[in-house]
Chains A and B, each alone.
Chain A
Amino acid sequence: MIEVQGLTKEYGRFRAVDDLSFRVAPGEVLGFLGPNGAGKTTTMRIVAGFLPATSGRVQVAGFDVETQAVAAKRHIGYLPEGAPSYPEMTPRSFLDFIAEARGIAPSARRKRLDDVIQLLHLDRVLDQSIDTLSKGYRRRVGLAQAIVHDPDVLILDEPTDGLDPNQKHEVRELIGRMAKSKIIVISTHLLEEVEAVCNRAIIIARGKILADDTPRGLEARSRFYNAVSLKLANPDLLDSARKAINQLPEVAATELDEKLGRITAFPAPGKLPLAPINALAERQQWPLAELHLESGRLDEVFRTITGGATA
């Protein structure tokens, strides 16, 4: 369990985190979203016990991260922003150091390291110094370091930053596999990542929580949610089709993208316009080239909620 209450962090007169409160329960994969400078990294650093809060309280696994710092840190696996490590070390010696510093008994260490190395496919680079590794490998070494002690709570600051699509996919799968038994908090500004791995998302900007919902719940806030778009084989019919669709009671408004020749019909509150539009198209015998149901667009919700906020 992570419990954050009234967390505030000030740098001089700048308030980076402003009275933040939330809890995360086991099994939750929380995506921390926000524009750059929103306070994501600061919040994660405080939860991980790196920075002290100006005011407020953070508990991890029942331990206060400030007054019972060492006990709290035992339960946390943390990947700092940019996955820092010791460049002159090899992944093997680095992970060995982390395991020892985390108090994993020497007898259990070998097995744990082997597991983690296998999980993150590090075997090929084990004895190469970290500064010669690619960005993707360095990130994976950082992830390995975060999970080597099998923590209850994983805090990952932009875990897939700098990875290629295959590696991103792998890391997301890994997060998905670990999700059942752990609390995972990841920060990202990749919205597809939230859809792919998170079951809860918090959007913050200027240090405040603006939304706290499931990714689906956030999508439902999009005006594209349940919207229908269609294309006609004969573009001359577009205008009349648009007018006809506008008449439907299930449709609140339509938009016409002239370049693509696509009509998008937005639903009236609580209505599903797909079936009526489909029926209309059949009645009118429109030469449909495309007809599909839109899902919500997270990026649009994100922009609306954060109001283009940048700090």
Chain B
Amino acid sequence: MSGVAAVFKRELASYFATPIAYVFIVIFLVLAGVFTFFYGGFYETGQADLSAFFYWHPWLYLFLVPALSMRLWAEERKSGSIELLMTLPLETWQAVAGKYLAAWAFTAISVALTFPIWITVNYLGDPDNGVIIAAYFGSILMAGGFLAVGACISATTKNQVIAFILSVVACFVLLAPGLGVVQQVLGGIAPQWLVDGLASLGFQEHFDYISKGVIDLRDLVYFALLIGAALYANTIVLEMKKAD
């Protein structure tokens, strides 16, 4: 475990040693605010909850998480430091886990920094804080799903731009089955069980449940399996293709 911890600490520190952390956090907070207040109609709905805030999270993550995950392995390949990392006495999965957990922890920090909006809603009304905590939890879990997919894709290339674009596409594919528009279109051509089945493979449905305060084992298992599978694939990709 100490190997995971070493990689985790190094990675997390490196976010804050470069402008990445500050740029990411600022952009995340600004966008989260813009979406909540302008497009979500936070005040207009007149409800003391944060649904307008959490509603946009999948869309924020669609672009911001790949921006974070693209460098995870592609940068190591590009700079050659992967050779250093892979010749330390660590199992490949330890490096994968350490890097992933650091990126996830960083995302969690960014999400946690939206706390003023929570304070705001408590000041203005009397929200159900249990639901809000669940939604925060679900949001971070979903970010973890996006991140794991992005990390795996980043391991396949040394080009960060390619990693970013492919990750956005992959994350969109995971998001799309839960969208109303997609469900309507599919509903016209495919049987309902297929539409529902696809929706349950996507992020949106599981996130929706959790963000309504319903923490169901199925949703947790879904994200755990998805993250586990993506990181397992990440490890295999690295084992198969270490150089270039």
Contact = CB atoms under 8 A, between A and B. Distances in A.
A75 to B, nearest CB: 9
A76 B87 contact: yes
Contact of A129 (B2, B17, B86, B89): B17
A160 B80 CA distance: 18
Contact of A84 (B3, B80, B243): B80
A74 interface: yes
A100 B84 contact: no
A78 B80 contact: no
A84 B88 CA distance: 13
Contacts of B9: 97, 100
Interface string B39-71: 000000000000000000000000000000000
A52 to B, nearest CB: 8
A196 to B, nearest CB: 26
Contacts of A50: 83, 86-87, 242-243
A108 B241 CA distance: 35
A145 interface: yes
Given A97-B6, A101-B6, A82 B80 contact: yes
B7 interface: yes
Given A45-B243, A97-B6, A101-B7, A70 B91 contact: yes
A74 B83 contact: no
A101 B3 CA distance: 5
B18 interface: yes
Contacts of B3: 101, 103
B14 interface: yes
Contacts of A272: none
A137 B89 CA distance: 25
B192 interface: no
Contact of A48 (B7, B10, B87): B87
Contacts of A76: 87
A73 interface: yes
Contacts of B5: 100
Interface string A23-58: 000000000000000000000010011111000000
A281 interface: no
A86 B87 contact: no
A248 interface: no
B179 interface: no
B183 to A, nearest CB: 44
Identify the interface centre among B10, B81, B88, B243: most chain A CB within 10 Å of its CB. B88
A262 B242 CA distance: 54
Contacts of B6: 97, 100-101
A89 interface: yes
A103 B91 CA distance: 13
B89 A103 contact: yes
Interface in A224-272: none
A102 B88 CA distance: 7
A84 B84 contact: yes
B13 interface: yes
Contacts of A74: 89
B2 A84 contact: no
Given A88-B18, A89-B14, A98 B83 contact: no
Which DSSP category, helix, strand, loop or mixed, fits chain A's interface?
Answer: loop
Given A97-B9, A97-B10, A103-B2, A85 B81 contact: yes
Contacts of B18: 88
Contact of B83 (A70, A84, A101, A102): A84
A87 interface: yes
B112 interface: no
Contacts of A87: 79
B84 A85 contact: yes
B2 A100 contact: yes
A80 interface: yes
B17 A98 contact: no
A93 interface: yes
A84 B3 CA distance: 20
A103 B18 CA distance: 27
A86 B80 contact: no
A157 to B, nearest CB: 9
Interface in A62-102: 70-71, 73-74, 76, 78, 80-82, 84-89, 93, 97-98, 100-102
A308 to B, nearest CB: 28
Contacts of A81: 80
Interface string A115-135: 000000000000001000000
Given A45-B83, A97-B6, 20 more contacts: A50-B87, A50-B242, A50-B243, A51-B242, A73-B88, A81-B80, A84-B84, A85-B84, A86-B14, A89-B10, A89-B14, A93-B10, A98-B88, A100-B5, A100-B6, A100-B9, A101-B3, A101-B7, A101-B88, A129-B17
7 contacts: A48-B87, A50-B243, A52-B242, A73-B88, A73-B89, A88-B18, A93-B10
9 interchain residue pairs of minimum CB distance: A84-B80, A73-B89, A100-B6, A101-B6, A80-B83, A88-B17, A97-B10, A74-B89, A84-B81
